[in-house]
Amino acid sequence: MGLFSFFSKEKKETLDKGLSKTKEGVFSKLARIVAGKSKVDDDILDDLEEVLITSDVGVDTTLRIIERIEKRVARDKYVSTSELKALLREEITALLTENSGTDESEFTVPQDKKPYVIMVVGVNGVGKTTTIGKLAYQYKKNGNSVYLGAADTFRAAAVEQLVIWGERVGVPVIKQKMGADPASVAYDALSSAKANNADVVIIDTAGRLHNKVNLMNELTKIKNVMEKVVPGAPHEVLLVLDGSTGQNAFEQAKQFTAATEVNALAITKLDGTAKGGVVIGISDHFKMPVKYIGLGEGMEDLQVFRRQEFVDSLFGD
């Protein structure tokens, strides 16, 4: 089955639309730096470095990309400015391939992990609860039974929002009263899911970063309690980041990867921003897969991140 068997025309259109501002921002700058020049030289590479950094690719990742292109230019002796876009496309694809491993399958559950437990972390306001609702929808649409656990017990709005998503998607939400022990909620959610032979459990958590020690202790406690119910849980610790915040998303990723064992990323709100380059930088900097990208408000607008389609959309004519 070919690569594009999993990537519908509708998804491609959503991706193209969602990345349009980033694409316009990057390539309008690229067009300016090569205007009137025929050869890629040191001045153009300096300007390209600035283009990538101002597109929120990040300093370290930008320097890595520039270094790769410098080697190509040195090897080939002459690289025309018309080739620069193709060269950039190839090197970014190679970088994402190195950092992301294999592309994820479409919302499938490993046969040996049932229920498959996802603990979702991230600061308030990044689209964490919305991402959970969309994940639940996609997993259910794919034929899985899903349970949600409202373990962000410090904000009534978080629990209420998750309940609304549960009703909207048609999946049960396990909750307790405000201020309840988050680990207790996680325990109840996994116990109920296990008793009902569910396929997927998604646990929401509090997004407070003002005290990293408390956050670390709380997330560790939740993980330890879940492991008692489902050995190996959580199978996935998904960090949700707001792509529109650019470099601030890097800082949040640093904080959460220090606080818990994050092993997957979801980058939301890429539609309507020119900061889509942050996907490249975060994937490279943290050496972990970007698993999902958010491209709009609709249920279908959370997509599995496929690096080739992402780069094709970013660089497509």
Tens of pLDDT, residues 205-221: 987 765 667 778 888 99
* Spatial separation of the C-alpha atoms in residues 258 and 92, rounded to whole Å: 27
Tens of pLDDT, residues 13-23: 888 888 888 88
pTM of the model: 0.90
- Which phi and psi angles does 271 have, rounded to 5°? -70, 140
pLDDT (mean) for 242-263? 87
Phi-psi label, residue 316: left if phi above 0, alpha if psi -120 to 50, beta otherwise: beta
pLDDT (0 to 100) of residue 34: 80
Rank 164-173, 207-216, 242-251, 294-303 by mean pLDDT and report only the highest: 164-173
* Spatial separation of the C-alpha atoms in residues 52 and 63, rounded to whole Å: 9
Reduced to 3 states, what is the DSSP secondary structure of residue 42?
helix
Match 């008692």 to its residue by tokens. 228
For residue 109, pLDDT over 80 is answered with yes
**What are the angstrom distances between the C-alpha of 95 and each of 49, 60, 61, 215, 284?**
16, 12, 9, 32, 7
N-terminal to C-terminal alpha carbon distance within the chain: 26
pLDDT (0 to 100) of residue 4: 41
Helical axes 278-286 vs 84-100, angle rounded to 10°: 40
Radius of gyration of the chain, Cα coordinates, nearest whole angstrom: 21
Q: pLDDT band for position 223 (50/70/90)?
A: very high
